[in-house]
Structure 1
Amino acid sequence: MNSYLKCALSALLLVLSNNSMSSVTEYTDNAQPVINESSEPLSRSEKSTLIDKTLTVFEENYIDTGAIDRVTTLIRQQHERGRYRSVSTLNDFAEVIGNDFKLFADDLHLSLSVKRADEPVTHILSEQQGKLTYNRAFETVSYLHGNTGYLKFNKFYSADDAWDVADAAFTFLQNSDGLIIDMRDTVGGSPYLAQLMLSYFIAPDTPLWSVVGRDQSVSQRSVALTSSDHTRFQSDYPVWILTSQQTASASELFAGVMQAQGKAVLVGEQTAGAGFYVGARKITEKLIFRISLSKPILAVTNTNWEKSGLTPDVATERVDALDVAIALSLNQ
């Protein structure tokens, strides 16, 4: 296939799949939740009661039990010292106190959000239209020098049709002699799409990760699927994954499995260290806690990357990662 035809097919793939619908994040990313307008004033007593209720939800659900006492103490100290005196509305409460939970627990997933009383309780984040929504967050599919494929996507989009876009991308790339996957801007998303995409590289039924709750019980075991359209990438196929400090959560899950299974070389920066599964718990009819409830454990290494992140095999600044990976591919 000549280079002109490859470029034309790449452009066609992106045009045919280019939907501009709004998206949701099923697992996580670093975006702030979209907070509905709620300017109802909070009295001092209402604020105190709300803090107590929020802390109760945190204490009863948070995955990292070792952090609960410290975070609870710090939040109460902030309140007692008057640091929340300027918090006057529910929106203020969600933003200021939600950010303190994230800071004190050192957990990128934690946040509070406001909803209408008639809206369902959900951990799913809404995204504004842009690169996190266009074409189900798949940005570029192309061929580089030396017949190396290049794939850039910005989130593991949770909608079912994102699987179709992923399948189309990998079908287009199946004649490549190696693949660079650019995840420097991939903020997270659905672990189910990550599982599908991993299944292009890893043999069916291979254990990928398990999910462990705060009581250390295993609630889920994920394996490579049999649904991939081809097996081109499953043996003797070089992959380089580009990482940055923004590579987070489900993105770290994908990159971590690929690295642990010996299927990819990570090139770039240490990743964000967002290694928990997130869910939602109701505090009141209008206030929701987006909270970490469990954690995935990589099957090969029996590890989780919360707070530590993934260490690249080839360390370099994010701005240089693509050039370094291209050089590696040409020397393959």
Structure 2
Amino acid sequence: MTTTTQPESALTTAVDETIRLVSEHYVFPDVAEQIAAVLRQRLAGGAYAADSAEEVARLVTEDLQSVNGDRHLRLLFHADEVPAGKGEATLADLRRDFDSSLGGAPRVELLDGKVAVLELAPVIFPVEWAAAPLGAALSLAAPAQALILDLRRCRGGVPETVALVCSYLLDERTHLNTQVWQGGEIQEQSWSQTHVPGPRFGGTKPLYLLTSGRTFSGGEELAYDLQQLGRAVVVGERTGGGAHPREGWTVHPHLEATVPVGRSVNPVSGTNWEGTGVQPDVPVAAEDALTRAHELALERLAEIVG
């Protein structure tokens, strides 16, 4: 591991570049001006005169989030040096997580009563990586009588892959979400797929989603989309509240500026989960959510049989 202590000028340059990126790319231009003004004032006042990239990242992130609390707006510290360029630091971290988590599906289990549990963690990875492992896991769970998706450790994800997962849990092509990019002129809709590789669990059998306060971003989208469609029962805790898709830029060998460049609009609610999180249908402590969801599944299956 390389040292993270850098000359002040390199860290100052990183803060300057972060200010520029926020000003040019943040989804809400009027808020971007306010945030940039805060950072410029703090920089001029010596607030970021720390001797480590990690400390500068902490201080700048606090100020980035001080105006409107957008938790996707961050200056991220990376202990190891990260590649230069747009998105390269994020991809490097994602690849390590992908390789150590069975492609984002670290657990598939069959519980009593033919209730399957599938955990999606630590993130829902890019579809070109994750289609095979997620498709295999979802197909394996397809014959179950009920399914529990565990999102308690899912800290993010990619909309295209969220749509793929939903495709295994619905019976027909369905509008899931719309991304509205900076300025609002460009919109991109997300739909479930008509066909998927292998069998699907389908759109009628009982489905439960487990959430925690750590569930964030793409994990929240999956829960929110299915909840708004009335397809799933969310069990657990209110999620973190991050609904803005973001891009990342390396601004220093150990620092990545992440800036939200769009916002989500759900076709059912007309809004999203930014700042509020996904509210569980059955509130329960995260550590008890699996037990409670299993109980609910068994009760529902007994009703169906009866």
Q: TM-score by structure 1 length?
A: 0.78
Shift of 1:219: 2.7
Aligned to 2:59: 96
Instruction: Indicate conservation of the 8 Å contact 1:62/1:214, yes or no.
Output: yes
Q: 2:47 aligns with which of 76, 79, 83?
A: 83
Instruction: Indicate conservation of the 8 Å contact 2:21/2:259, yes or no.
Output: no
State how 1:134-283 maps to structure 2 within 5 Å: 134-154=101-121, 155-158=123-126, 160-229=128-197, 232-281=200-249
Shift of 1:104: 4.5
Supply the distance in 2 between the matched residues of 1:90 and 1:100 (Cα, whole angstroms): 15
Secondary structure of the 2:261 match is strand
Q: Are the structure 2 counterparts of residues 91 and 322 from structure 1 closer, same or farther at C-alpha, using a change threshold of 3 Å? A: closer
- Could you report, residue by residue, the CA deviation over 1:100-150 in whole angstroms, capped at 9, with x for unpaired residues? 324544222223358979733216251585688321121211111211111
Secondary structure of the 1:299 match is coil
Secondary structure of the 1:212 match is strand
Identity of aligned residues (%): 25
Q: Are the structure 2 counterparts of residues 103 and 136 from structure 1 closer, same or farther at C-alpha, using a change threshold of 3 Å? A: farther
Does 2:86 align with 1:121?
A: yes
Q: CA RMSD in A?
A: 3.0
Aligned to 1:298: 266
Aligned to 1:106: 69
Instruction: Indicate conservation of the 8 Å contact 2:103/2:134, yes or no.
Output: no
Supply the distance in 2 between the matched residues of 1:113 and 1:185 (Cα, whole angstroms): 19
Supply the distance in 1 between the matched residues of 2:156 and 2:277 (Cα, whole angstroms): 13
Instruction: Indicate conservation of the 8 Å contact 1:131/1:139, yes or no.
Output: no
Shift of 1:75: 2.4
- Could you report, residue by residue, the CA deviation over 1:162-192 in whole angstroms, capped at 9, with x for unpaired residues? 2111111122112111111111111112222
Aligned to 2:303: none
Secondary structure of the 1:160 match is helix
- Could you report, residue by residue, the CA deviation over 1:3-24 in whole angstroms, capped at 9, with x for unpaired residues? xxxxxxxxxxxxxxxxxxxxxx
Q: Are the structure 2 counterparts of residues 285 and 121 from structure 1 closer, same or farther at C-alpha, using a change threshold of 3 Å? A: farther
Amino acid at match of 1:59: S
- Which one is further off, 313-322 or 223-232? 223-232
Shift of 1:97: 1.8
Supply the distance in 1 between the matched residues of 2:148 and 2:216 (Cα, whole angstroms): 18
Supply the distance in 2 between the matched residues of 1:130 and 1:207 (Cα, whole angstroms): 29
Instruction: Indicate conservation of the 8 Å contact 1:183/1:251, yes or no.
Output: yes
Supply the distance in 1 between the matched residues of 2:253 and 2:11 (Cα, whole angstroms): 15
Supply the distance in 2 between the matched residues of 1:320 and 1:38 (Cα, whole angstroms): 40
Shift of 1:225: 0.9
Q: Are the structure 2 counterparts of residues 117 and 143 from structure 1 closer, same or farther at C-alpha, using a change threshold of 3 Å? A: closer
- Which one is further off, 254-263 or 52-61? 52-61
Supply the distance in 1 between the matched residues of 2:233 and 2:247 (Cα, whole angstroms): 31
Amino acid at match of 1:226: T
Instruction: Indicate conservation of the 8 Å contact 2:125/2:158, yes or no.
Output: yes
Q: Are the structure 2 counterparts of residues 171 and 185 from structure 1 closer, same or farther at C-alpha, using a change threshold of 3 Å? A: same
Equivalenced residues, count: 295
Instruction: Indicate conservation of the 8 Å contact 2:139/2:199, yes or no.
Output: no
State how 1:283-294 maps to structure 2 within 5 Å: 288-294=256-262
- Which one is further off, 282-291 or 308-317? 282-291
- Could you report, residue by residue, the CA deviation over 1:259-310 in whole angstroms, capped at 9, with x for unpaired residues? 0111100011111101011113466899652210001211222211111111
Amino acid at match of 2:84: E
Does 2:8 align with 1:42?
A: yes
Supply the distance in 2 between the matched residues of 1:79 and 1:90 (Cα, whole angstroms): 15
Instruction: Indicate conservation of the 8 Å contact 2:28/2:183, yes or no.
Output: no
Query: Which segments of 5 or more consecutive residues in structure 2 lack a partner in the other structure?
Result: 301-306
Q: Are the structure 2 counterparts of residues 50 and 183 from structure 1 closer, same or farther at C-alpha, using a change threshold of 3 Å? A: closer
Amino acid at match of 1:57: L
Shift of 1:77: 3.8
Aligned to 1:27: none
Supply the distance in 2 between the matched residues of 1:287 and 1:248 (Cα, whole angstroms): 21
Secondary structure of the 1:181 match is strand
Amino acid at match of 1:41: P
Q: Are the structure 2 counterparts of residues 40 and 260 from structure 1 closer, same or farther at C-alpha, using a change threshold of 3 Å? A: same
Q: Are the structure 2 counterparts of residues 114 and 271 from structure 1 closer, same or farther at C-alpha, using a change threshold of 3 Å? A: closer
